Each structure stands twice: as structure tokens, then as C-alpha cells.
């Protein structure tokens, strides 16, 4: 289904775990350095309110006067777990794009403030780079270097799967529980074969 800007709380709350969305609008990249920086109370150099943050450290090359995205897949989100909830609260973030899912604190913040976790396909740097139609700006480049900077991307039909919704559901939590139960069965089978 389509998810077009502006990303209102109402639209976000309609999404459910398992929905495949195609996102069109502005997203801001931000990863480890940016999350720590904002969590420590520094003001963002750009308005993030009602925005979408993308856990991504892209390869971007300047060709003449324009930035061209050469690769732009998601990075592992769980590293931002200590910071994400406070950023969702502070900036009323409506979406977090990344990979691997996030934890209980972020899930609770998604439910309380109306935000979703959008799981992009990890490693699919070329498919996803093609969805970036324009690089509008870059912030904190000097301070953090290219992969850690805030890149402002205009994206069109950017594909992702809702794996944590604004209703307290998390595919990651559920799958971990079922796979762990299955693993215990396998361990019992191994022990039995040995005995």
C-alpha cells in the first residue's frame, strides 16, 4: 500500500504489522552518531517534527554540483534502542526505517506517540538507492563524516514492511518467542538422541 507525505498520526495508526508499504516523501538519514547527539540534547540542524528517520549510512558521491546516491540500504536499528524512544517523543517522529527491528522501549514509544517501525530490506542498497529521487541537503557532514551525517532524501515508492506498529505489536518479539520455543524442542531432541 502507498504511504505518502504528509505523514499524519492518523495515517500511521492505520498501519499494521505485516503491511508492505511504498513510501513517498522526505526521509532523513540518521544513525549512531546522530542519535547519540540528539539524545544528549543538541538541537537538530533541520526540522524533524512529524518526520521519518532512516537508519542508513549511504554511499553518496558528488558529481559536479549534485550529490548522487550510489548505495543506500538500512543499517541495524537495535543500536539506537537506548535513544530512539526519546527522539520519537521529542520530535513526534512518525516513522523509523531500519533493519532488524527494535526493542520494548521503542515499541512503547511507537504506541504512545503514533509511530511505526518500517523494516527495509537489509543489503538491498541498489534497489533502495533507486528510490531516492533527490538529495536535497546534508547536515553535520563535517562533524560526523559522510555515512553518519544527516542526509535529506526525497524518496518515491520506497519499499518497506511494517514490523512494529502503533498498537503495541512487534513481529520481532513474536518471532523470537516462537523460534526460541522451537529451539528448545531441538535441544531436547539432541539430548534425547545422545542419551
Partner 1 sequence: MDRRTLQPSLLELIRRTSAELPEDVAKVIRRSKRTETQGTTGRYAMDVICENIDLASEKSLPICQDTGSILFFVTAPRGFDEEAFRKAGDAAVVEATKVGYLRQNSVDSITGRNSGTNLGPGSPTYHFEQGPGARIDIRLILKGGGCENMGAQFSLPDTRLGAGRDMTGVEKCILEAVNQAQGKGCGPGVLGVAIGGDRATGYLHSKEQLLRKLGDRNPIPVLARMEKSVVERANSLGIGPMGFGGQTTLLGCKIGVRNRLPASFFVSISYMCWAYRRQGIMIDSRGRIREWLY
* Residue 155 within binding range of partner 1, rule CB under 8 A: no
Q: Is 167 a catalytic residue?
A: no
CA proximity to 154, closest of 2, 1, 4: 4
Nearer to partner 1, 52 or 60 (CB): 60
- Return the closest-CA partner of residue 112 out of 131, 141, 92: 92
Q: Phi and psi at residue 140, in whole multiples of 5°?
A: 60, 25
CB of 171 to partner 1, least distance (A): 7
Residue 146 binds partner 1 (CB under 8 A): yes
Contacting partner 1 within 23-82 (CB under 8 A):
33, 56-59, 61, 70-73, 75-76, 78
Residues contacting 28, CB < 8 A, separation 6+: 46, 48, 51, 52, 53, 54, 150, 151, 152, 153
State yes or no: residue 16 binds partner 1 (CB under 8 A). no
Q: Which is nearer to partner 1, 26 or 33 (CB)?
A: 33
Closest CA to 93 of 56, 49, 153, 55: 49
In this structure, are residues 24 and 157 in contact, taking their beta carbons and an 8 Å threshold? yes
Give the residue from 52, 46, 58, 59 showing the smallest Cα distance to 15. Answer: 52
Query: Min. distance of Cβ 46 from partner 1 in angstroms?
Result: 21
Residue 177 interacts with partner 1 (CB under 8 A)? no
Residues 152 and 46: beta-carbon distance below 8 Å: yes
Local structure of residue 149 (DSSP, 8 states): S
Piece of 43-51, 88-96, 108-116, 156-164 that binds partner 1 (CB under 8 A): 156-164
Among 14, 122, 134, 157, binds partner 1 (CB under 8 A): 122
Active-site positions read 35
| Interacting residues with partner 1 (CB under 8 A) | 18, 20, 33, 56-59, 61, 70-73, 75-76, 78, 99-101, 119, 121-127, 129-130, 144-148, 159, 161, 163, 171-172, 175-176, 178-180, 182-183, 186-187, 190-191, 193-194
Amino acid at each position: 500500500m502507498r504511504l505518502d507525505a504528509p505523514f499524519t498520526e492518523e495515517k500511521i495508526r492505520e498501519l499494521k504489522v505485516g503491511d508492505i508499504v511504498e513510501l513517498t516523501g522526505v526521509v532523513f538519514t540518521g544513525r549512531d552518531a546522530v542519535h547519540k547527539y540528539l539524545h544528549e540534547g543538541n538541537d537538530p540542524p533541520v526540522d524533524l517534527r512529524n518526520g521519518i528517520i532512516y537508519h542508513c549510512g549511504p554511499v553518496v558521491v558528488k558529481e559536479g554540483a549534485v550529490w548522487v546516491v550510489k548505495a543506500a540500504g538500512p543499517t541495524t536499528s537495535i543500536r539506537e534502542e537506548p535513544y530512539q524512544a526519546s527522539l520519537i517523543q521529542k520530535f513526534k517522529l512518525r516513522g523509523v526505517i531500519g533493519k532488524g527491528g527494535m526493542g520494548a522501549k521503542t515499541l512503547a514509544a511507537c504506541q504512545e506517540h503514533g509511530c511505526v517501525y518500517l523494516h527495509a530490506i537489509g543489503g538491498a542498497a541498489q534497489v533502495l538507492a533507486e528510490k531516492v529521487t533527490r538529495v536535497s541537503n546534508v547536515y553535520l557532514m563535517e562533524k560526523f563524516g559522510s555515512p553518519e551525517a544527516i542526509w535529506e532524501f526525497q524518496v518515491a515508492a520506497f519499499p518497506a514492511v511494517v514490523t512494529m506498529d502503533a498498537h503495541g505489536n512487534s513481529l520481532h518479539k513474536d518471532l523470537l518467542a516462537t523460534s526460541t520455543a522451537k529451539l528448545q524442542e531441538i535441544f531436547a531432541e539432541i539430548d534425547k538422541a545422545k542419551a
